[in-house]
Every structure is written in structure tokens, then in C-alpha cells.
Structure 1
Amino acid sequence: MIQANSTKITFFLWLLKVLKFLYPKGNVHRFEETIKLIARQTLNSSDKSSKFVYSGITHKPWYESDDYNILRFVSDTLKNGFNDIEDECMAYFSPEHSVHSIVPKHKPSEIFGESFKDKDESWKYNLIWTQGKFTEAALSLFPKTVNIVTKLKHFIYPLAGEVAFLVMEPGVVIPPHADSQINLSLNCHFGIKTPEGCGIKVGGETRSWTKGETLFFDNSFTHEAWNKGQEKRVVLILDLSHPELTKIEKTLLKLATKDFNLLGIEGGYNGTQDSHSLKKLLKNLK
């Protein structure tokens, strides 16, 4: 197994050299610097929850749609499709709606996806897109929303990005937490039903949702949310790649995660075999 990892690393290092030569503007050097940082910190620390900042890209809690053309396109696309998204979403969440009458072949977990709070119906997480494709439930229940999200799928975070309707019932408070270890993605929240008394704090700054408007934030910062109103709050959430990442960087990040798990998506590195691989990678990146 160590030999297999060594072969992968040799190929990976060769690929980096080729990409730097062929695509000098691909910012491969930023990827290398970040990988070195993560490898060093992983080898020298037993703390698997360490935070990392990707080299050379903006790192701040909140982003505006005018900050990048990509965010402006996402915002405009969602706003233009608001009526269709709202109609499908609110029809589904209306009291008279019956899940089983529409898609009886699905289990409830396949309809609702994973809940942020384990089996807590006060915080519903209804998956539209996950693991690189639309869910069967979304294709059955939200066809117009699927068509709109299709226009944005190239911007969805490729490592673990999801799109979902998030429903927060009155009285729910989500305590401070961070969803990511590194600033590679941004959360987009698109307001569908936004009653008074709801808010979200990221990096110490509090904002509120507005119907038909977008909020963009970096979920590697500590954040919290609440619904102190009298009605449920509904937003469409999209996990987006950081707008400053190049296509080359996103491809390399996918490879690094799949073959080496350098970003700790599945628990990080462990053991002698992994240490051997990281040490070889570090040695050859110097």
C-alpha cells in the first residue's frame, strides 16, 4: 500500500510540474503552498479540527454579489427564477401537502436528506443536489427549481457541495459552529420565506434574510442562526466554490481529496502509511 501511495504521489508531482508549465496563470503555486501548510500541520499536530486558509485567496466572513461576476450571475439567476422557486417550494411545504401521495416509492430520509440536527423536524434539510447530481426527490418535486440550478451547477463546490431547501421552524436556535476547515467554498442563502425575528451571525456580524435576495458568506468562520419569529423561515442554500479559485486549482483539489484526503473530508490522515506519504509529498514540494 505504501508503494501504491508513492506511485500516486510521483504522478501527482509530475502533474503539478506539467500544469505549471502549460498554465502559468492557473495559480498552481497557491495550491502547492496550501498543500505544504496542511501536510506540515497534519504531521505536527494530533488536532484533526485545525483550520486552514487557502493561500492567496480572499478570506472574510461576508461577500457581496457585486464582489465577483460569478456571484452576480448566481444572484441574478436566482432572482429571475424566484417565482418558480417560490411556487414549488411553498406548494411542497404547505400543510395540505402529502409527501407519500406524490412520491410513495421514496423513504422520508430520501425526500428530506440529512437533517442538520439528527432527526429534528424543526430543521429540515431538503436536498436538491448532492454528490455531483440532482436527487430523485428534487427531479420529482421541484423540476423548475432543478432547471434554474442547472444553470449554476458549474459553480457548485465540487468536493462536498450541496443545494437544498432549509426550513427553520419558529423557536429554533442553531448554536455557533463552523461547517468547514478551509475557506474553499461560500454559502449562498436565497430567501424564500423570511419572517421577522430571524437572523444569522457570521464572524461577529449579524444580517437577516430578505425574500428574493441572496446572502453570501464563508462557512469556515464561526456562525449561528435563529428564528425567534412566529412563522417558519425557508431559504434555498447553495454551496459554491470560492470565486477566486481557477479551474486548474479546483481540479487539483478534487484529486488531492480523492487520492490523499489532504483536506480531511473523510477524517484526515492517520497512521504510518499516511505519514510516509505526507513526508514524501512535503520533501518533493520544497
Structure 2
Amino acid sequence: METREIAALEAEVLRAIQSGQDERAGQIWTRILALDPNHPRALLAMSQRAFRRQDLKEARSLLERLVQADGSDLQQWINLAVVCQQQGDEAGEDAALSGALKRDPQDLLALLLRGALYERQKKTHAAAQAYGAAARVAPPLEQLHPNLRPLLQKALAFREHYDRDFSTYLETFLAPHIASLGGGNLGRFQDSLDIMFGRKRRFESQSAQYHYPGLLPLSFFAREDFPWLDAVEAQTDAIRKEFLAVLAEDNGFEPYLNYADDMPLAQWAELNKSPRWSAFHLIKDGVLSPANAARCPVTMAALGGAPQPRQTGRTPSAMFSLLRPGTHIPPHCGVSNSRLVVHLPLIVPPHCGFRVGNETREWVPGKAWVFDDTIEHEAWNRSDELRVVLIFDVWHPHLSEAERTMISALSEGMRAYSAESAGFGL
């Protein structure tokens, strides 16, 4: 009976709206809420009426009821964020925008509003990240709704100013490092800065964060470039034994991907926080895991013979990578071509494969390879058994010692510029 009564009232309110009877429509919405306190359309309509008369307390109360009862529509969260903003409640505004971006991490308006909030809070680096994300998803300005154009233009101007400040800071930070090298040939390093800040275009690499120009993009590298690799391969059996002991204890493993729910996941949504692709980290983002490393002394000794890169907050990295049956790692590209990735296969059932660019290979236990992960690559395990590979990174062999020194210094400068983010969303 109640459902039929609500349906009749909904038809009645539609007629009232169409005939311009605003007060009558409000009375009907009130009657609907009396029958169903969580009716989404009624809550939305009444919150809009409260907002128009600037009753922000009532509008917020209705919107909070709405997102708690429903919350599926991104616009509900944005409306709540706008009301919180007008009330001066920045914490509530931030929480509402997070709710919106959990529904659609690439929503342009939500990203612009998040950037504006962080700008008001003087969170310069966080604002630059949000505005940068907005710029990446925005259509051409002429295709944008006129109401959004000023917001996007402001975001682009903020990001451009931020990049100039960041560039100036890094050039000052790096000057003594360059001077200490006594005039070494750092032309390619300077090109890398120009590319990072958009002063030059890059044409050859898919590096997601930091591109070093002039390095030959090869899918898989020749073994003769890595004379130390034989010694690592010689320890395969001992390394596998250490892994199996760790696996038997079944602790220290974690999902390889662990993005926040309001981050744009794209192709990673299926594997985010999933044990289907997991890792036992020995060194993570340049930081040794003492407890894990202590359990694998042979593996750590073998890694010590490799030219591991040093980039603060990023490398070196080393881990046992586990790919469970039926798992596919989708095509993707790495962050920087200044370091390469080594695979030492330990456990490889049939029907497992790996593609880099146009070249597809099958892992062979004990036979390592080195590849450029800034070239699109993917991996799969189509068997019903576990696949395990020791993965670690090394310097690109064609970088000079001076270039390696400056790349390490650059990463320190990037880290020093902001404690909020090591990557700055670049």
C-alpha cells in the first residue's frame, strides 16, 4: 500500500514541477519523506530547496542522509562537498570529495574541487597533484562546459607555476652536484630535466615518471652487458630453497598493488589489494626490509653483486614476485628508463609467459633476463600452479658514473622538495 502511495505522490510531484508549483512540490516531497525517510529523490530535492534558501545546516543534514542511504551517484557527494565548503568545514569537504572520487577517480569537477581545497589549505604539492590529475582527464578547453572553463584554466595556471618553481628549486639544488663533477658530459641529464618539466618533447620511451634521453630502448638486453649475471644464476637453487622456506612460514607476503580506493586504478582495478599478484619484499622503494632480508642471506649476497641503482624513495627494489594460477598482469609501462629490471625465474609451470614490446618469452628456471620495463609489457600464468620470479632492478648499463650520480642527486632533490609526496604526480 505504502509503495503505491509513494508512486502516486511521485507522479503528483512531477505534475507540480511541470506546472511551476514549487511550494506544492516541496509539500509533496515532505509527504514522501514521511513515508520513506531514505527516499533518494526526495532527499535530493529537499536538500536543493534548502540550499537555494541558504539553509546550509538543513541542506547538509539531508545530503548526509542521502549519501548514507544511497551514495551511488557522484553528484550527491559533490553537492555535499559544496555545502561543506560554504560552511567552512574543510574536513567535511575533503571527506565528501573523497567519496565522490571513490565513485569516479577521474571525475573532472571533483578533481578541480579537491585541488581548490588543497590550494586554500596551502597544501601546494597536494594541490598540484590534484590539478595535474584534472589536466590529464580534461577534454580540450573549447569542448568543456562554459562553467568549468575558468576552474580548469585556474588549475592549469597553478600547475604551470608549480612546475616553474619546482624546476628552479631543482636547478639550484643540483648546481653544487654538477660543479663537483668537474664538467662531466651531462647533456643528456639536462635533456632529462627539460623533458620532465615539458621544455622538450620525448619521442622514444613510455617512461611513466622520469625519462632519460639517448638510451637505446631495447625490450631485452644482451647478456654480455651484464657480466655479473652468471654469478646470480649460479645461486638459483639456493635462492629457490630460501624462498620455499619463506613460503612454508607464510608470513611477510603482501599484495603487490595497494592503491587507495579514491585513486584512478584504470587497468589495475582487478588486481589492486589482491593476493593473486603478491610480493615478498627484500628491498622496497629503496629501503631494506631487515626482517625479510635476514631470512634470505644467500639471496641478499647474490643481489650484492649487481649494480643496484639509488633513487630515493624508488630504488633499489628486490622481491620474490608470486603470480597465482589464472592471473594476468595487464599491459603497462614502468616509471623510468634509467634503471632496468632483472627476472630470475625460480618456479615456472607450463603456460606462463611474458611480453615486452613485440617480443614474447617463456621463463626458464635459472635463466635470467634483463629488460626495459618502460616498454609496454605484460605477464600471465595460465596454469593451475604458482609462478615465482626473483625481481630486482639495476642501473642501465649505458649510463656513465657521472650520470648515475646526478640521477641519484635528482631523486634526493625531488624528495627534499616535498615531504608530502616522493613522486609529485609527475
Q: What band does the TM-score fall into relative to the shorter chain?
A: 0.7 to 0.9
| Higher share of residues assigned strand | 1
- Note if 1:170 corresponds to 2:325: yes
Which residue of structure 1 aligns with residue 253 of structure 2? 112
Which residue of structure 1 aligns with residue 392 of structure 2? 238
What's the CA shift string for 1:152-197, capped at 9, x where partnerless?
2xx12212221000011110011111122x3111110001011110
- Note if 1:56 corresponds to 2:210: no
What's the CA shift string for 1:3-29, capped at 9, x where partnerless?
9985763353354255243xx4xx312
Q: Give the 3 Å change call, closer, same or farther, for CA 7–207 of structure 1 in structure 2.
A: closer
User: Gapped runs of 5+ residues in structure 1?
Assistant: 44-48, 100-107, 270-286
- Which amino acid counterpart does residue 112 of structure 1 have in structure 2? F
Deviates more, 1:51-60 or 1:81-90: 51-60
Deviates more, 1:123-132 or 1:213-222: 123-132
Q: Give the 3 Å change call, closer, same or farther, for CA 57–20 of structure 1 in structure 2.
A: farther
Distance in 2 between the 1:18 and 1:170 partners?
A: 52
- Note if 1:29 corresponds to 2:181: no
Verify the 8 A CA contact 2:254 2:275 in the aligned structure 1. Answer: no
Equivalenced residues, count: 239
Verify the 8 A CA contact 1:175 1:225 in the aligned structure 2. Answer: yes
- RMSD, aligned CA: 3.0
What are the residue-to-residue correspondences of 1:187-198 with 2, within 5 Å? 187-198=341-352
Give the Å deviation of 1:76.
0.8
Distance in 2 between the 1:61 and 1:265 partners?
A: 28
What are the residue-to-residue correspondences of 1:5-24 with 2, within 5 Å? 9-10=171-172, 12-21=174-183, 24=184
180, 192, 196: which is aligned to 1:38? 196
Which residue of structure 1 aligns with residue 116 of structure 2? none
- Which amino acid counterpart does residue 215 of structure 2 have in structure 1? I
User: Gapped runs of 5+ residues in structure 2?
Assistant: 1-123, 125-161, 202-206, 258-270
Distance in 1 between the 2:178 and 2:413 partners?
A: 15
Verify the 8 A CA contact 2:255 2:275 in the aligned structure 1. Answer: no
Which one has the largest radius of gyration? 2
Q: Give the 3 Å change call, closer, same or farther, for CA 9–192 of structure 1 in structure 2.
A: same
358, 365, 368: which is aligned to 1:204? 358
- Note if 1:267 corresponds to 2:421: no
TM-score (norm 1): 0.73
- Which amino acid counterpart does residue 179 of structure 1 have in structure 2? G
Distance in 2 between the 1:60 and 1:86 partners?
A: 29
- Which amino acid counterpart does residue 224 of structure 1 have in structure 2? E
Which residue of structure 2 aligns with residue 84 of structure 1? 238
Which residue of structure 2 aligns with residue 280 of structure 1? none
Distance in 2 between the 1:260 and 1:246 partners?
A: 21
291, 296, 305: which is aligned to 1:137? 291
Q: Give the 3 Å change call, closer, same or farther, for CA 259–42 of structure 1 in structure 2.
A: farther
Q: Give the 3 Å change call, closer, same or farther, for CA 243–113 of structure 1 in structure 2.
A: farther
Which residue of structure 1 aligns with residue 408 of structure 2? 254
What's the CA shift string for 1:208-234, capped at 9, x where partnerless?
110001121111111111001121111
Q: Percent identity?
A: 25
Which residue of structure 2 aligns with residue 156 of structure 1? 308
Describe the SS at the equivalent of 1:36.
Answer: helix
- Which amino acid counterpart does residue 115 of structure 1 have in structure 2? Y
| Higher share of residues assigned helix | 2
85, 90, 98: which is aligned to 2:249? 98
Which residue of structure 1 aligns with residue 29 of structure 2? none
Distance in 2 between the 1:226 and 1:41 partners?
A: 38
TM-score (norm 2): 0.51
Which residue of structure 2 aligns with residue 122 of structure 1? 276
- Which amino acid counterpart does residue 189 of structure 2 have in structure 1? F
Give the Å deviation of 1:259.
1.6
Verify the 8 A CA contact 1:53 1:59 in the aligned structure 2. Answer: no
Which residue of structure 1 aligns with residue 141 of structure 2? none
Distance in 2 between the 1:37 and 1:230 partners?
A: 44
Distance in 1 between the 2:168 and 2:375 partners?
A: 35
- Which amino acid counterpart does residue 63 of structure 1 have in structure 2? F
Give the Å deviation of 1:201.
0.7
What are the residue-to-residue correspondences of 1:223-234 with 2, within 5 Å? 223-234=377-388
